[in-house]
Amino acid sequence: MTSQSTLQSSDATPLVASNILVDPHPQVKTNHQTLIILALATVYIVWSTTYLGIRFALESFPPYMLMGVRFLIAGGIFFIVAWIRHTPAPTIRQWRNSAIYGGLLMVMGMGSVALAEGAVSSGLAATMVAVSPVWAMIFGLIWGVRPRRIEWIGVIFGIVGVALLSLEGNLKANPAGIALLLLSSFCWSLGSVWSKHLDLPKGMMGTASEFLAGGALLMVVSVVRGEHLNGMPTPSSIAAMVYLIVFGSWATFTAYNFLLREVRPALATSYALVNPALALILGVILGGEQITGSAMIALPIILIGLGLVVFQKKPQTA
């Protein structure tokens, strides 16, 4: 696959949505750009629905058990498929790195979100996670990725829009939930940027090892917390669990890991600016949550900020 640094054209004509420029020999690079756009669409749309999926699944499953079972099943199936394809198993070093990645994204990231959703709405949870692009750009500086000025402006627009969306919920009423969500976005962004510099398995085996390591750590936390089922899971909780495994894990993490390798941190985490709006809308339609007129102002502001982050020319590095 062609690397991002080589995707340049003689006249430097910008192309939408990818930090990539038009090339006089476009076939391979056009395919690469299409994959980036599809990956962005996946994390934008599908991850917006997982906040509501988590809420439904929490009707029967405690938070860390929910996430642990989700990622152990998803990772186990991926591992078996990769093994059947004779993909080499991860080394000890790669298992360790997978545990670091899984611990930051799945335990501290997804686990904290699931725990917080016991106190806050799915839309508000997605809203608070919208600070992820800011953390990603800050952590990117550690590894020499200098955000462009227009990226900072775009993220600021997005955060302002998300702040308006936060009027849909009561932030002051749930300080513990808000703290968990901020911790989640911090750890998620750190793990996302750090992963580009860790020795991790590639392809399906890489995703499998990350899921298995993260899922195992989540189950350890679940046992320490004394979590257990109070009865048979409801059909809606089971359906939500299946959805989180198939779409919320296999599809989205495959797309997200691809974006982490191929694009800048601000673009890879730009889903966090989109998810709040879609999560709020889904929460109203499917979850009985309420929305006020502030969303009518917030949504255009978020779209402006997203556009400034997405429509970039060639990247800057320190």
∠ Cα 298 275 207 (to 5°) = 160
Whether residue 279 is predicted with pLDDT greater than 50 in this model: the reply is yes
Q: How confident is the model at residue 293 (pLDDT cuts 50, 70, 90)?
A: low
| Residue 21, helix vs strand vs coil | strand
Torsion of CA 156, 157, 158, 163, to 10 degrees: 90
pLDDT digits (tens, 9 = 90+) for 176-233: 777 888 899 899 989 999 998 999 998 899 999 999 999 999 999 999 999 999 889 9
pTM beyond 0.85: no
Q: How confident is the model at residue 31 (pLDDT cuts 50, 70, 90)?
A: confident
Q: What is the residue extent of each domain of the chain?
A: 23-310
Q: How confident is the model at residue 20 (pLDDT cuts 50, 70, 90)?
A: very low
> From the centroid of its chain, how far is CA 212?
18
Nearest Cα to Cα of residue 191 among 63, 99, 128 = 99
Angle between helix 27-57 and 271-287 (nearest 10): 40
Pick from 47-51, 103-107, 155-159 the range whose average pLDDT is largest. Answer: 103-107
Nearest Cα to Cα of residue 58 among 183, 185, 244 = 244
